[in-house]
Structure 1
Amino acid sequence: MKQTIDFDKNEVHALIEKVIGKLKHLQGGAVEESCPIGIISMENWEWPQGVGLFSLYLYYRKTQNPDIKQYLIEWFDRRIVEGLPSKNVNTMCPMLTLSFLAEETGREDYMALCREWAAYAVKEMPRTEEGGIQHVVSGQLNEGEVWDDTLYMTVLFVCRMGLLLNEESYIDESVYQFLLHLKYLTDRRTGLLFHGWTFNGRHHFAEALWARGNSWYTAGLVDYLEMIELPKPVEWLLLSALEQQAAKLAELQAADGMWHTLLDDPSSYTETSATAAFAYGILKAVRKGYLPQSYREIGMKAYDAVVSHIDSDGIVQGVSYGTGMGRTLQEYRDIPICPMPYGQSMTLLMLIEGLEHV
């Protein structure tokens, strides 16, 4: 695979189309699914599918390709007919894309669902001490726990609905959740984020500096800031956390441009979905002026590394399966590797952002 700097936009678009083609048609079977709702096939409603839908929507917004919009509408219509799963942090993820479709299509049935789910997230979703969104997932309450995944899976949607409905309390909730998660998940030694914190015992579980969990902050923050104009002190704090994280990522980036699934553990395997999300977040942050230009080289090195992990069929290789809260670091090293919707979709986001840099 030739280096990104030699790509032209047509080649990037062609690569994007291959990645999208495989995203739409991923099926289970590569590993034995351990999640109550399958997280490999795009025909289920869970967080990986939600991440995939959002990446497709952003590509539609950039290209105005009507086929992508129609795919998204048909996907939601099928799921609505089937019946939606119970509401939790992870099943909330597809609602972000639905909120954009509701606005664009004017469909009241879409907007009614968005109102219902957003109200649940703000008013009924279980909370930890200090009002953190408890990381309830399908089949697991995780009482008293906050995880770094929550910001991407639920809080972006809460903010989006606050803007759509002119609900200041929803926007305030999104700000508070970002601040509270940083308060309890930041490793002050490195500037990276621990995977989770429990108020029941007050500890960080295995103290895992898990790559994909960190990348939800990197990728999510740049999209959050694109949605909303925050009070300057809040924006400064969130961006200072991003720069602290990015500085450590620069130090820990492997020679081939990848990052290890445990960021500070070179014995753990390198992982493509996190690397793609870091590349997306860093490159977009540089373009937006959130990070200094010096970080562009780090983002492009990661971009090249991810592109080299896209096989000839458009499947993104080297992606770890869904990762629950590990009680030991070895549990993270042992997560199986297989193609996943979020591997395809975070790579898609990265490639879309890359169009601004090639």
Structure 2
Amino acid sequence: MMYKFLLILLAGLFSTGLLGQKKLLTNFPDGYTPEQVGKRLGYRFVEGKHMLHAGKWISYPETFNWAGAVKFATLTKDDKLAKLLQDRFEPLFTTEKHLLPPMNHVDLNMFGSLPLLLFQTTKEQRYYQLGLPYADTQWMVPENAKTQEKEWALKGYSWQTRLWIDDMYMITIVQTQAYQVTKDQKYLDRAAAEMVLYLDELQRPNGLFYHAPDVPFYWGRGNGWMAAGVTELLRYLPKDHKHRPRILEGYQLMMSSLKQYQTADGMWNQLIDEKDSWAETSGSAMFTYAFITGVKHGWLDAREYGPAARKAWLALVSYINENGDVREVCVGTNKKNDKQYYYDRPRHVGDYHGQAPYLWCTVALLENVK
């Protein structure tokens, strides 16, 4: 398997003559193309069951898997898949309305990004009306808010701020989608200010992030949420935005560090800086998404990061089994100031935490960036 992987990687490198590095992200062998992988995972999601938060509401992993499939279907003009994904959502307006997440936590408000995305593809107002309140209520302090939550709000930040790196995808994704449908600058300003706060508070000199201030470990998927969140924000943030230089600086510092920690196999470990930790797919896919997008948008040097992105993608695809399920996915993980806790986290197959960023990668590889 490793010998075959190396042959595929080398074939891609030599086919471009090392001159057009961006072509490394288009020239894939059979079974490894983003069209093939995206189709496998997109239709796999349609077959799957709901992954519920606390057994009650649509969870963030399902939301992001769903959104990745929607983006893939839209980009590839797969009308059949698009219809199946909309049909899956339809009961949330009626018989499954009770599964809609409440708007009271950072891990729940992000759900609004999905109906806002569906509004962009369908132009149906009901998606807009369902989704936008999830973005707005992230900045509307509830009466029962805790003292710390009120203090964050008084400083202009979301009351849902908690300084866990996971938040920088959860907050960013719903705010940027709200901007996409309204073109109201306040949503981008919110997300950008929040991102700067997290960069200033959590990014270490080596470019990586502790899971939280009191958990000094470089957890893979946690850093993946940050990598994907900052990438998503940079896609929409105007070049003249006051926070863009700081955010781009933080992004590039992180990408430089991640490149150094990429393993010989093309992956990243559950604990990024621990060589004896296991290769984990969800975080690796998020880093790959950030690399691909950075190369295609010109935020990263294509000659330096193009080969790394290709190597990562080829490695990731080898972790998809015959059923279209991604292996070696760390389960949902709370923070804990115990390094062994991260070593010992169970590994799932087909967990939406892993399926989702693979779909983001397919979209990033297929997008035509001007």
How big is each residue's C-alpha offset from its partner over 1:266-319, in whole Å with a ceiling of 9 and x where there is no partner?
222110111111111101101110111111111111111101111122211111
Structure 1 position 68, deviation (Å):
2.5
1:36 maps to which residue?
54
TM-score when scaled to structure 1? 0.84
1:98-177 equivalences under 5 Å are 98-124=115-141, 127=149, 129=152, 130-133=155-158, 145-177=162-194
- Kindly provide the CA deviation profile for residues 206-225 of structure 1, in whole angstroms up to 9, marking residues without a partner as x: 21211111112222222222
1:344 matched to 2:362? The reply is: no
CA distance in 2, matches of 1:181, 1:62: 32
The 5 A counterparts of 1:86-97 are 86-87=102-103, 88-97=105-114
1:144-293 alignment, distance < 5 Å: 145-188=162-205, 190-196=206-212, 204-293=213-302
Q: Which runs of 5+ in 1 are unaligned?
A: 39-43, 136-143, 197-203
Checking the alignment, whether the CA contact within 8 Å between 1:122 and 1:158 is kept in structure 2 is no
Task: Supply the distance in 2 between the matched residues of 1:222 and 1:206 (Cα, whole angstroms).
Answer: 24
Which residue of the partner structure matches residue 21 of structure 2? Answer: none
Q: Give the length in aligned residue pairs.
A: 332
Partners of 1:53 and 1:94 within 8 A in 2: no
Q: How far, CA to CA, are the matches of 1:182 and 1:11 in structure 2?
A: 34
8 A Cα contact 1:194 1:207, kept in partner = yes
SS of match in other structure, 2:107:
coil
- Tell me if the contact between 1:286 and 1:292 (Cα under 8 Å) persists in the aligned partners: yes
Deviations 1:59-101 (A, max 9, x none): 1221121122222322222223222122221122332121122
Q: CA deviation at 1:114?
A: 1.8
Aligned CA RMSD, in angstroms, stands at 2.6
Identity of aligned residues (%): 23
Instruction: Output the amino acid matched with 2:111.
Output: P
What amino acid does structure 2 have at the position aligned with 1:66?
D
- CA distances 1:162-202 after superposition (whole Å, capped 9, x unpaired): 343343333221111111111111112x1111112xxxxxx
Q: 1:351 to 1:118 in 2, by over 3 A?
A: closer
Assess, with a 3 A threshold, how the Cα gap between structure 1 residues 333 and 114 changes in structure 2: closer, same or farther.
Answer: same
Deviation at 1:8, TM superposition (A): 4.6
Partner of 1:140: none
Structure 2, unaligned stretches of length 5 or more? 13-26
Larger deviation, residues 154-163 vs 250-259: 154-163
